[in-house]
Structure 1
Amino acid sequence: VLVTGAAGFIGSHLCDELLKQQNKVIGFDNLNDYYNPEIKRRNIDHLSQNPNFEFVKGDIRDKDAVVSLFNKWDINSVVHMAAMVGVRYSIQAPDEYIDVNIR
């Protein structure tokens, strides 16, 4: 299972549940600094203790990086949790939100 946004709050908890169900999970996240990246790194460190978890740092806007995930692993499911969060910054940088969350 490929989980985008795997380092975030919801994505990391989803990965935990998928791993408990004995799934092989590929976590994909750009670890942006909208909120403390150390929290995201701790989430990934926790998940990485499970041998069925593999983390790849990358951006969902990078088509080559996404394609390489499918070329490297036998992915049969995708849960797309990656997104820019927060309202205030979306007003200041709407183009980035549109690019990440919609395109």
Structure 2
Amino acid sequence: MEVFQPGLASDLYFNFITLVRRIGDLGAVLEAVWREEDLRAEAVGNRLEARDRALQERKEALQDLLAQCLDSLVCLANLSEVDLEATYVRSLEAKGEAQNP
């Protein structure tokens, strides 16, 4: 029988679950923005202005949740020994090369 030992694996999975939960919370805020945009679009006259107003009302929540998602992602990268910054730079370079052959 294997005995549970806290460490890398448990932290890794816990951080993944935390990231998923935070993304769900972010989705709920964005859903509220979308609904508010729909409600305001006719009154405001255009969708972009309605979206901007809805986003401004929830800006603090969006900022907090995006920061929390980033924190969870960075923790996952550290726990799995992934150089997130280098990987991201390579991804951007590859994307740039694909767009400008």
- With structure 2 as the length reference, what TM-score do the two structures score? 0.25
**Structure with the bigger percentage of helix:** 2
Name the larger-Rg structure. 2
**Structure with the bigger percentage of strand:** 1
- With structure 1 as the length reference, what TM-score do the two structures score? 0.24
